[in-house]
Structure 1
Amino acid sequence: MHSAVDALLAQGKTRPRADAQRNVERLITAARQALDEQGLAVTTRDIAQRAGVGLGTLYRRVPSVDALLAAILTDTIDEMTESARRALEASDAWRGFVEFAEVYVRLRTSSCGLHDALSGAGAHLDLKPRINQLQRAVRQLVQRAQDKHVIRDDLDWRDIPFVLATAIPADHTIGLEPKTDQGRRNLRIILDGLRPPAGPSDS
């Protein structure tokens, strides 16, 4: 479990017994899976059914399903932000940016809930402060890459999150199905397009 989920569970007045702790772990796993598969449309009943517990058990362990989803998403957004911060410290600015881009695309691809949250849904979950931190980290990362001349300087840093998000493949397009590694292939094409032209730009 990560910090936001731990903090949520710590709000309980008593430490759960071993069997109750197993229920908690099942609920968290079920909530993550449901969020990844269904996005923010997931319901309390679906989480409880996946975990194999009753609704009463769920509400004894967490204040609300929204609080649980917010904690899970907070941890994932924080993971993305931390990836950007690590990239800022990389000795190779381009390598650091690529590593962040891979994490960004992987996390958005793997979770419909995260994709929903970063696309503007879920305002009721109060994720804006964490998203603002992510924005600041991405801005700094892109600015550093541009200062090092490894990303085109005609791009606004705000372009980058939108462009990276397009690496996530659709289920189908013009009658074609994506390759198993389509997201990675898309990202490589995008990264090539972000690099400055080779050679001097003036003559």
Structure 2
Amino acid sequence: MRDDRDPRPADLDTISRQLGRPARDVVEISARCVCGNPLVAATAPRLGNGIPFPTTFYLTHPVLTAAVSRLEAAGTMAGMTERLTADPALAARHRCAHEHYLAERDRIGRRAGTGEVPEIAGISAGGMPDRVKCLHALAGHALAAGPGINVLGDETLAAVAEDWTPDRCTCAGAWDPGAPVPTKDLSRHVRHLTR
């Protein structure tokens, strides 16, 4: 039986168009738009080229990604990090999100067949467990895990509700579904191998 998280070829083409580069080592579609398009891709913890990749849950939808980028530019991460130092209960929940992230990355790694990735053992994403350094990672985890697991990711999603919400499709015009699927990957994870 096919799991809705299983990436179909059309999903990978959509993600490539959303990102403007080829989809890379996608193991699951961890969250979908109400229309079915990918929102979050779960990436193997070791890329096919051998590079360790700690960012398991990767936002792909351009509208959501742009909205979260605006929050980052507004300095939201610094305020969240300050709250973590002042609020032990929030800090404990952030640490629980970190542990959940690690467990999910292990699950994704098993599903991908990548085995152990010692280079990133104990390292999650987004600054967890002690700070906030990437709202995209927290929001991606929140969407993949569901409400209540990553509280700062949930806050991030609530803060972008004017631009994006999980119950409203914003896909029309966000990327060109008829464009050629990108084939050239210029990301730093590819350039690193050619050094």
Same fold (TM over 0.5): no
Larger % of strand: which? 2
TM-score (norm 1): 0.27
Larger % of helix: which? 1
TM-score (norm 2): 0.28
Which structure is larger by alpha-carbon Rg, 1 or 2? 1
